Amino acid sequence: MIKYTIKRLLQSLLTVLVVATIVFLLLRMLPNEYYFTEDQVNKLSEEEKNERLRAAGLLDPIGEQLLRYYGGLVRFDFGDSRRIQTGVPVLKVISERFMVSMRLGVSALLIALAIGIPLGILQAMNKDKIPDHIGTAYTVFINAVPPLVSYSLILVFGAHVLGLPSLYSTRRPGISSILPIACLSLASIAHYALWTRRYMVDEMNKDYIRLARIKGMSNRNIMIRHVLKNAFVPLAQYIPASFLLTISGSLLAERFFSTPGMGPLLTDAISRYDLNVVQGCVVIYATLGVIGVFLGDVLMMIFDPRIRLVGKGETR
């Protein structure tokens, strides 16, 4: 087990490194003019521009830049932000946004779990009856309608009918987070309901459930003690990943409500040529993604003792 964990962690580290390198190289493909603001492009002479680029180390051979970047990574030093918050260390810039995204994301995830899983159970228990059809209609709606449209509908409903603020404001973080959280949890509710229902229906068709029914176990007991327990195992796998990914924030929802979170940070940083911030974000995203998958496997093993994590990276 320990050997496997170490191997798995080393593999994950390699993935993060590869992703970081690719993004680093991709960003170096952007033309150097982006380094300057429009004002500077017009005012500065060629020599001054080159001088500044050289000082920033952007004219060094690409290999040298890459090595310096790796050096920083080892020390968890992502450098300073240039444009987003000039001169502030990237980690600090990110951690501020991180808290906002995390608060919204975790609340949305908890709501999604609290509503989605019971909804899925309700659907599975009343398969092909009215509750099931309502739940299915909901999941179809969420899957088919573009999120931009459903967010807009929620916004109009929330702002008009309930009188909630239509934009996030730092002065009133509580009440103005209601609509973003509602939007974020909308899709996850559908996701959890869909998969809970599917896994439960799969499980209900198995022979041992039929046996339990024959020997006279009550429907309620069968559902709680057998079906739900077994159906929860494959579901548990995704929870850590989605929990960690809440930190990275939702690009659309956060931009839509002007939330100062992680989501808009990435695109802002790319379009404003704040390379250090982009690289910091990407390394964090990749790390969270990799850890999420790993924790998912561990969680699945805890819920189902039959699953053994064996070598070669196989999880089933």
Partner 1 sequence: MSHNQDELFRLVDYSADAAERIGYSNYSYWRSVLQNFLKKKSAVVMAGVFFFLVIFSFIALAISKYDYATLVPESSLAFIEPNSEYWFGTDNLGRDYWCQVWYAAQTSIKLALIVALGECVVGLIIGCLWGYVRVLDRPLTEVYNIINNVPNIIYMTLIALLVGQSFTIMAVAMIAFGWLIMARNVRNLVLMYRDREYNLASRCLGTPVRRVLTKNIFPYLVSVVILRLALSIPGTIALESTLSYLGLGLGLETPSLGVLLRNARNSFLDEPYLLIFPAVIVSLITITFYLVGNAFSDAADPRNHV
Examine residue 153 and tell whether it contacts partner 1 (CB under 8 A): yes
Q: Which stretch binds partner 1 (CB under 8 A): 19-27, 199-207, 223-231, 297-305?
A: 19-27
According to CB under 8 A, which one of 9, 13, 30, 175 is a site residue for partner 1? 30
Q: Is 78 in the site for partner 1 (CB under 8 A)?
A: no
Question: 252: Cβ–Cβ under 8 A, 6 or more apart, which residues?
Answer: 147, 148, 151, 263
C-alpha–C-alpha distance, residues 36 and 52, integer Å: 10
Greatest pairwise CA separation for the chain in angstroms: 88
One-character DSSP codes across 132-192: HHHHHHHHHHHHHS-HHHHHHHHHHIIIIIS---SS--TTSHHHHTHHHHHHHHHHHHHHH
User: What's the distance, Cα to Cα, between the start and end of the chain in Å?
Assistant: 14
- Residues composing the chain: 316
What Cα–Cα distance (Å) separates residue 109 from each residue in 28, 32, 237?
Answer: 36, 41, 15
141 near partner 1, judged by CB under 8 A: yes
Indicate whether 161 belongs to the interface with partner 1 (CB under 8 A): no
Among 53, 251, 291, 295, the residue binding partner 1 under the rule CB under 8 A is 251
Give me 118's structure tokens: 């019971």
Site string for partner 1, 194-233 (x = CB under 8 A): ----------------------------------------
Q: Shortest gap between Cβ of 285 and partner 1 (angstroms)?
A: 6
**Shortest Å distance, C-beta 281 to partner 1:** 9
The only residue of 19, 66, 73, 164 in contact with partner 1, by rule CB under 8 A: 19
Question: What 3-state DSSP class applies to 313?
Answer: coil
Among 35-43, 82-90, 169-177, 264-272, which window interacts with partner 1 (CB under 8 A)? 264-272
> Which positions lie near partner 1, rule CB under 8 A?
15, 18-19, 22-23, 26-27, 29-31, 34, 140-141, 143-149, 152-153, 155-156, 159-160, 166, 248, 251-252, 255-256, 266-267, 270-271, 278, 282, 285-286, 289-290
